[in-house]
Each structure stands twice: as structure tokens, then as C-alpha cells.
Homo-oligomer: A and B are copies of this chain.
Amino acid sequence: MTTKKMAIIATKGTLDMAYPPFILASTAAALGYEVQIFFTFYGLQLLRKDLSDVKISPLANPAMPMPVPMPVLVAALPGMESMATMMMKDKIKKKGVASIEELRSACIEGGVKFIGCEMTVDLFDFKREDFIDGIEYGGAATFMKFAGETDVCLFI
């Protein structure tokens, strides 16, 4: 039996959209998949050693469940992004859901390969020393070679 393969392209860097790549990748790894995540655009924020700046925005997402209804202009006030982030992190903790740091570690322990998009690192002036160790850097062509052999390939 050949090993199943999964590839994920992680392009978002917000707290909510940080969960899907790490949950799906760690789950697939636990099921015996060979997994690679290609971090590009805002997704590169998820490779930082320090993830405390990963935030959620209460703006432009009327589907976000709110404890109290909040007018858009209030959601745009200074500090609301930090407040929404704090509330979400608090909820995650209370409900016993793993933090993104923990899920990222679970991916690494499960053998998930992290690839940073060279072009975006350069474009956004990211510094490689801000990122965790053990990352490979590459471009779309390298990644496509793996993606073309996968059973599941997701763009997040």
C-alpha cells in the first residue's frame, strides 16, 4: 500500500484561518499521510517563532458569532481587533481547544514538512531569523511537483 499524501497551501495569517492548515495537517499526519504545507502570502505569519501577533478581525465577516451584536463602526474602533483576539483566545482556552502553537508543534512532531515561499518572504521583507527552525524555502515549481502526486491538495 502506498502512503497517502496531502499538500496544503496556507495563504492566510489570521487567528481563525491559522487553525485549518494545522488541524488538517496534524490530523492527516496522525493517519499516516505524508504532508507538506506551503506557506505563502499572509500564511508566512504562521511560521514566526512568536505567534502573539496573530490576530482576528471583527470586520467584514458578518458570519462571526458575537457575544453581543456590534455595529461595524464600533468594530472599527481602536483596540477592537485586540479585544476580539483576546476574547477568541480566551474561548479557545476555556473550551480546551489547542492553541495554534500547540497544533504547529503537533505538525512538526508528526513529520509535516513546512515550506516557506521564497518569493513572498522577499516581497514582504520577512526575516528568516523570525521564523522557526527546520523550514525549507522554495517556489511554486518545487511545491507543484509534490502537489501533483497528492491525494488531497487544499488552498487555504
Contact = CB atoms under 8 A, between A and B. Distances in A.
Interface of A: 4, 6, 9, 11-14, 16-17, 19-20, 23-24, 27-28, 30-31, 33, 40-42, 45, 54-57, 59-65, 71-73, 76-78, 80-81, 85, 91-92, 95, 97, 119, 122-126, 139-141, 144-145, 147-156
18 contacts: A6-B148, A9-B20, A11-B20, A20-B41, A24-B140, A27-B140, A28-B148, A31-B144, A31-B145, A31-B148, A57-B61, A57-B62, A59-B59, A60-B61, A62-B81, A65-B125, A152-B153, A155-B155
A27 B145 CA distance: 10
Given A16-B41, A33-B148, A144-B27, A72 B63 contact: no
A57 to B, nearest CB: 4
Q: How many copies does the complex hold?
A: 3
Nearest to A43: B63
Contacts of A45: 63
